[in-house]
């Protein structure tokens, strides 16, 4: 399989990239990023601006797509900017890859994704799930982790507090609310596109801890 990973420099995306490059079933990984990644014989790394993605680039021709693009309200600076990154970018990647023949798409969503949620973050995730489903991919995997463990490049103080508390309470928490390792999320995303299970597949936190 020729695979595209959008968001390969993030916490989950970097794990997905490493796993994909090491997987014998993956012949090439296309990872469009703003900054260059370390070279690898199986890696094609076009430098792009997600505001100006080259719609006709040949590297869009892949069989499967993993998308781990996401930001925070603090980093984005406004609801509109957050929605642009967390909704519009994943949808655009899905549309462009689909036009070039992609058959499987796996998206890193979130526990609590809900169109009717009063929480803007959860509502945005619900919207992108809805819009991805409407594209009609033969195989769509939605991975919904809860709180993600691991060290991020960007600072997320509130998340660090939540991680510490969740780690302390881990043994007594229901599996759905325990910390989810980023490598487990990456594995679920990768397996989703490699399996290409027809229709919609939801992967919940309890399946990854």
Return the ∠ at Cα 134 (arms to 129 and 139), rounded to 5°: 80
What is residue 15's three-state secondary structure?
helix
Q: How far is CA 5 from CA 51, 71, 110, in A?
A: 17, 16, 18
Which tokens is 172 given?
């007594």
Q: Which alpha helices (DSSP H) does 9-154 contain, by range?
A: 11-22, 73-76, 79-83, 89-99, 120-134
- Give catalytic residue positions: 121, 125
Q: How far is CA 52 from CA 55, 63, 89, 125, 152, in A?
A: 9, 23, 11, 23, 26
DSSP single-letter state for residue 39: P
């Amino acid at each position: 399989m020729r695979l595209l990973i959008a968001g390969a420099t993030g916490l989950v995306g970097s794990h997905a990239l490493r796993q994909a490059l090491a997987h014998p079933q993956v012949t090439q990984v296309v990872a469009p990023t703003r900054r260059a990644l370390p070279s690898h014989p199986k890696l094609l790394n076009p430098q792009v601006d997600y505001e100006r993605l080259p719609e006709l680039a040949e590297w869009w021709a892949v069989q499967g797509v993993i998308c781990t693009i996401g930001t925070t309200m603090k980093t984005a600076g406004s609801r509109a900017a957050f929605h642009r990154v967390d909704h519009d970018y994943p949808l655009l990647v899905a549309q462009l890859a689909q036009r070039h023949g992609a058959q499987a798409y796996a998206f890193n969503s979130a526990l609590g994704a809900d169109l009717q949620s009063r929480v803007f973050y959860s509502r945005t995730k619900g919207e992108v799930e809805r819009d991805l489903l409407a594209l009609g991919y033969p195989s769509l995997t939605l991975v919904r982790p809860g709180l993600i463990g691991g060290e991020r490049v960007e600072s997320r103080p509130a998340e660090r507090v939540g991680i510490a508390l969740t780690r302390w309470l881990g043994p007594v928490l229901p599996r759905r609310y325990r910390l989810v390792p980023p490598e487990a999320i990456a594995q679920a995303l990768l397996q989703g596109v490699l399996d290409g299970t027809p229709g919609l597949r939801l992967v919940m936190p309890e399946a990854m801890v």
